[in-house]
Amino acid sequence: MVTLAMDRVGARLRAPCTESLQTIVQQGPPVDWNDIAGLEMAKVTLKEEVLWPILRPDMFSSLGPAPRCVLLFGPRGSGRTLLGRCLASQLGAPFLQLSGSTLATKWLAEGEKIIRASFVVARCRQPSVLFISEVDMLLSAHLSEESPINRLKGELLAQLDSLVIGSGEDGGSQVLVVCSTSRPQDMEDGLRRYFSRRVLVPLPDTAARHQIVSQLLAQSQHKYCLSEEEVALLVQRTEGFSGLDLARLCQEALVGLVFCKFQASISQKEIDTYTEWNKMFGCSQAAALCWREAQRRPTQAHEFSQAGFRSIMRPSLMRPLAVYK
């Protein structure tokens, strides 16, 4: 039904880019909070300050309208998309996804129509979740006046205005826009007001890395024969890795690439940037404190030899695993 609605919107707006309209609607199995490793502070914030006010507006009416637009920020590969999918699953809502980088490059010519069509479909299918990744590409403070991306920026802000500033007459009271970025510092300062909740999504801690590694290895039909001590050693040596880093490490090791070295893709400088931005503009000081303490690690980036990984991976033939996003 959602795809049919997209087709009708595309025809009405005369958008020739049928491919883009079809890829906006994301299909997949439902995601539960327990499916997401770690991120306890982010999950609690989204549950209590975003999800519950939407599900039970009668109980939260004294606190004002439910949030319409949320910003998830943090390192690449830390699970922001999974959180967006989980919100959609908990709301029983369709999950619509746009990519800021794709809109600013591949779909630049039709970007305005695609953004407009996406919001139309989100309103038609509410409750709905519209997820916009790499939103900093559209809301960057470094755009020149001549940049064609300004057209997309103007359209997106107009749509957000109708949700954030509107009082419900626009028919979008159950549309949740979740924007995601790994570069929040690049966004124009004045546009932070659109995001009533700005939630840090940090790197996985020890327990979360253990869960991610266990899930990745369990996805294969092979028996890995890893002892608990070997798993603990692997988790210890991957401190500072994102969920995506762990997935790539497992993939490469499982298919037999022995002579590679992996190190955390997120530098300490980037972690410090997220810490400071969260301290100034995030949802709470408590979140900033938890992030700062959880992410303390040696300044020397950890390197993990894949040969060392394979020394405890006993099967000789293994297949790639799904990438953690």
Structure confidence by residue, pLDDT tens digits, 33-88: 988 998 999 999 999 888 888 888 778 777 777 788 999 999 998 999 999 999 99
Q: What is the pLDDT of residue 148?
A: 87
Give me the domains of the chain, ranges plus CATH numbers: 2-200 (3.40.50.300), 206-264+301-311 (1.10.8.60)
Q: What is the pLDDT of residue 81?
A: 93
Give the position of tokens 């028996």: 223
Higher pLDDT, 287 or 120: 120
Find out whether 261 and 318 touch, Cβ atoms under 8 Å.
Answer: no
Higher pLDDT, 263 or 17: 263
- Token readout for 136 is 């900093």
Pairing of strands 197-200, 128-133: unpaired
Q: What is the pLDDT of residue 317?
A: 34
Q: What is the pLDDT of residue 80?
A: 93
Q: What is the pLDDT of residue 180?
A: 94
Average pLDDT over residues 8-34: 64
**Cα(194)–Cα(211) distance, rounded to whole angstroms?**
34
Residue 310 has pLDDT above 60, yes or no: no
Average pLDDT over residues 117-122: 89
- pLDDT band, very low/low/confident/very high, at 20 (cuts 50, 70, 90): low
Q: In angstroms, what CA-CA distances link 66 with 47, 48, 131, 195, 203?
A: 12, 11, 17, 12, 28
Give the position of tokens 């991976």: 313
Q: What is the pLDDT of residue 217?
A: 77
**Cα(54)–Cα(68) distance, rounded to whole angstroms?**
9
Higher pLDDT, 241 or 314: 241
- pLDDT band, very low/low/confident/very high, at 8 (cuts 50, 70, 90): low
> Which of 37-46, 54-63, 199-208, 227-236 shows the lowest per-residue confidence on average (mean pLDDT)?
54-63
Residues 6+ apart with CB under 8 A from 141: 186, 187, 188, 189
- pLDDT band, very low/low/confident/very high, at 305 (cuts 50, 70, 90): low
End-to-end alpha carbon distance in the chain: 27
Determine how many CB atoms are found less than 10 A away from the CB of residue 267: 14
Query: 3-class secondary structure for the chain?
Result: CHHHHHHHHHHHHCCCCHHHHHHHEECCCCCCHHHCCCCHHHHHHHHHHHHHHHHCHHHHHHHCCCCCEEEEECCCCCCHHHHHHHHHHHHCCCEEEEEHHHHHCCCCCCHHHHHHHHHHHHHHCCCEEEEEECHHHCCECCCCCCCCHHHHHHHHHHHHHHHHCCCCCCCCCCEEEEEEECCHHHECHHHHHHCCEEEECCCCCHHHHHHHHHHHHHCCCCCCCCCHHHHHHHHHHCCCCCHHHHHHHHHHHHCCCCCCEEECCCCHHHHHHHHHHHHHHCCCHHHHHHHHHHCCCCCCCCEEEHHHHHHCCCCCCCCCCCCCC
**Percentage above 90 pLDDT, the chain:** 21
**Cα(242)–Cα(285) distance, rounded to whole angstroms?**
23
Residue 134 has pLDDT above 60, yes or no: yes
Give the position of tokens 């909070």: 33
Radius of gyration of the chain (CA): 21
Q: What is the pLDDT of residue 304?
A: 53
Average pLDDT over residues 203-213: 89
pTM: 0.79
Structure confidence by residue, pLDDT tens digits, 138-176: 998 888 888 888 889 989 999 998 887 764 555 557 889
Determine how many CB atoms are found less than 10 A away from the CB of residue 311: 11
Residue 9 has pLDDT above 60, yes or no: no
Q: What is the pLDDT of residue 314?
A: 42
- pLDDT band, very low/low/confident/very high, at 16 (cuts 50, 70, 90): very low
- pLDDT band, very low/low/confident/very high, at 229 (cuts 50, 70, 90): confident
**Cα(234)–Cα(239) distance, rounded to whole angstroms?**
9
Higher pLDDT, 67 or 299: 67
When the pLDDT of each residue in the chain is averaged and rounded to a whole number, the result is 77
